[in-house]
Structure 1
Amino acid sequence: MSQEATIRRGVRNARYAAIPNHVFEDARLSMEARWLLGYLLSKPDNWTVVIGDIIKKGGCGRDKARKMIAELVEFGYAEREEQNRKNGKFDASSLVIFDEPKVMPPAGVSESVASLPQTDLPATAKPSTAEPSPAKSAHSNNLDSAKTDYKNLREGEREAEGQECPTESSAVIDKAFWALVKDWPGFAGMPKEPARRAWYLLTADERHEAAERFPRWLALLKAQKKSHVPAPSTYFGEKLWQDVPSAAEADKPTSVMAGPYGKLWNATRIAELLCPSTGPIAGPTAFDKLQIDNGKTTLADVMAEKRMRSGWPTVNTMHERARDRQGWVCPLSIEEPAKGFEQVHRDSDRMEAWRREHKRRGWPFFDGRLPDWIYFPALDADEDLDRAVASAVDRYRDQISDFLTVRSKGDDHAA
């Protein structure tokens, strides 16, 4: 029996649209752009769609939505309408959408199928009834026309959002582009237009950040011993500079000395315990084996005890320093969740519940004389203290998931 898929059409109701097959077969368009074109063409004439609607219906981000729009413009399925400027600002702009990439519209077509203003609220203006200008070639080699198309699309979006008309000229944008890529590793042998096009799709602020953080991005790649430097088009398109902290952020302290048993101190301690144990764990001694043989303990219990005592050397050191009232250098990245910790009295039922939770998880607990109050993750109202404590630990782990991921990668590298 053939295993090939068969298309079977169900009974149609009145809610369907007639869309040319080539809309979904044009291989020049990405699958996402084909979806957007089909979605817009399914709407009635004069339908007004906003960026927020595309984001919601397509389950994508704002940048992705704009890239899909850029594809439709590039391959002739969409054109920008003329805008009227008032008081230094432009009215809401729109895109006229076509069901095929046309040079001239067929006779009888007077209005667009759909219009797409680049604004966060629906616009009330109807699309232009004027015949669209000839669409540019799908694969144009004219750098100036490609530059202008992408520049107008990006600037039109900002203008519709109520921002002042940008003052950067094409010459200024171009100059900044060549100044950035002139010493790019390997750029001499790369195609220039994809990078230039991606550069023009950025906002002025994004271009400034991309250039300002580029040297630190290269230094980061070198520190990570990366053998390949991504192309400029990838750097701009995927906004890789955002992985690099700004100069102001780089100057900020990343850690601080925290006093023992306080919020940040115990937040750091529990964060360390939530990481896998890394300390060396010795095997059972002769005495341990004798105890096991006599049935006084089990191998599992012996190894659990050894893991608790030496599995987390950082925590053990924190405990030793705390006994001498010495603090610990703690990361500021978990300072915010640490603010939600609550005081627990050393002789309270809650403290005993925390002690049991440590034992259940195989974690080392405090030893020696404790202060009156110690900070732990806050508990929800719950009659069962043990369940509340376990839930508090799980909640805290979710809050510091990014820290734990970075911490885990560091341990893997060290190993």
Structure 2
Amino acid sequence: MSQLFKAHLGSTGRKMLAVRLADFADDDGKGIWPTVGRLAQETELSERTVQRFLGEFVDEGLLIVVKKGGGKPGEATRYDFNMAAIARLPSSKSVADGCHGVTHDTVSPVTPTTATGDTDDADGCHGVTQTVIEPPIEPLEREGAREADLKDGDDPSKFVQRVKALEMGRANNPWPGAIASSTAWALQQFEKLTPEERRLAEERRDAYLAECKAQKVKNVALGVYLRDKKFLDVVPSAVRAQAASAKIAVAPFGPVWAGMRALALIDGPEHVEVPLDVRDRIGQTFEALRRGSETRALAYLHGKGIELGPDGELIFPYDFDQAEYRRRTIESGYPRANELHLQAKGRERGIAEARFEALADLCEPVPVGSELFERWRAHHEAAGWPFVPDPGSMPVVYFPKGGPEALNDFETAARAALRQERSDDHAA
């Protein structure tokens, strides 16, 4: 807990309380449960001030509430220090900025005029002559290791976010029982792991849960999974199998959605048939609509480019057969794209194999109504593709990077990425 002696905490009172709390903690910063009254007495702060500082420490993440007190008379709240948060505290000013100048004396000098102490010091620098015991200096190796962690992406400031991700999962698969477990305690166990162990814990999460389900045994709590390093017990082949079958959520109008949709369109339409008696069927539909509403029946014909002759006969355009085939192709010739469109209309998240996540980096957001958005619309119309559903109030919709002109580059990169992902799974 020597970090607290060197940390800048904002005020003398906060520093005094933090150091006193450290006296109650064990070497790992845990097991703090003195009463507010005792802390107030020993720090000479008011109880209200102690309560305020404790609340600030909790809000700032320096203290973790393990168990709330007050259930029984005299029962105190139990706290643990968040060691990762304490390690990130800024250092207080060096002694050189104080009254000793640059001499770095740690014992107040005694002169003939101050033989009974420094109470007569004109500058009021020393209240009493006191030997200050400096806390042990932390090894440079620890600081170097922490810098290395940051370079490798193992940033302690992201630990809370990573533990929450372990709780919630990547594809609507939360850790069973996490809602009733302590996130703070799981965070403490996560912090104790090495960077490599943290990576393995995240990588093997789904495989561990799948293995428990396969063996019909109950999984342990997330904190226990981290504390006991259960991820090391997962057979590597199970990890690879789980990775191969892993699923991801696909957000409507998002980058993965856009990549999957573009490939479905590029693959071309499935075969559709136009019935030989399609003109007779249209005539029958027109007559049925006409019996209910003349206006509605005429609108039906207008939508198909058909005119009503003076004698009541239907006049079909010269290219009716080609236009009808094109219409049916757009409506039903791209089932995979239309399935994505249906999900987007309902603002529903889809599910896809994890390998499709590689498409996200190949797509870009396009502002709705922009010049590029309209170029995409024109390209879809020229290609006979169904365009994206109405995005409503969404400001952007994702499309392949580079606009319609770069679709060939997108296809090449996308198929290469998916082949690589699949070959990695098979090699595993």
Q: Please give the range of the TM-score, normalised by the shorter of the 2 chains.
A: 0.3 to 0.5
Name the TM-score, length of structure 2 as normaliser. Answer: 0.32
Larger Rg: 2
Structure having the larger proportion of residues in helix: 2
Name the TM-score, length of structure 1 as normaliser. Answer: 0.33
